[in-house]
Structure 1
Amino acid sequence: MENHCIEEPFVIRSYSKSELAHLYNPDMPIVPAMRKMRYWISRNPDLHKAMYQAAESPGDHRYTRRQVRLIVNTLGEP
């Protein structure tokens, strides 16, 4: 019996920052993956401004659905 890896479609929902960073950087340990994600966001002023124009804060531990949608629209799906 063959074992096939079935990939689930990406879902726009709230993600912890570590979870989303790991989805974008699956071969990296969590801390460097999160650092890379923060770097991508900070290097894109339009994305950064859009992500934090509402009540969300860069210090939050989760990305909201709205923020995830912005990230995916900018970076593509993980």
Structure 2
Amino acid sequence: MITKYAIKTTFGYVVRRGTTPGELAYYYAAVSDAKHFDTAKDATQWLERAAFHNGREGRPYSGSPQIVRVDEKVSQLTYVDAGPVA
């Protein structure tokens, strides 16, 4: 199994998308479609940048975001939620 990290909210998992490299937008998806990070620190930094950008735009996060560990089952190429990061 390969361990990655994702940002989970009460609405689903956060996915990065955007039309410009600096744009941090998000929508909510299933864990298999979520943006995956190599470390919890990378996920935290991404969330901080997105929160700053969205706050500046007047669009605060909702849904209580938390960083969770997800494990990729290599044989099936699917991700499963492994729970919150301590």
Whichever structure has more strand as a proportion of its residues is: 2
Structures share a fold, TM > 0.5?
no
- TM-score normalised according to structure 2 size: 0.29
Larger Cα-atom Rg:
1
Whichever structure has more helix as a proportion of its residues is: 1
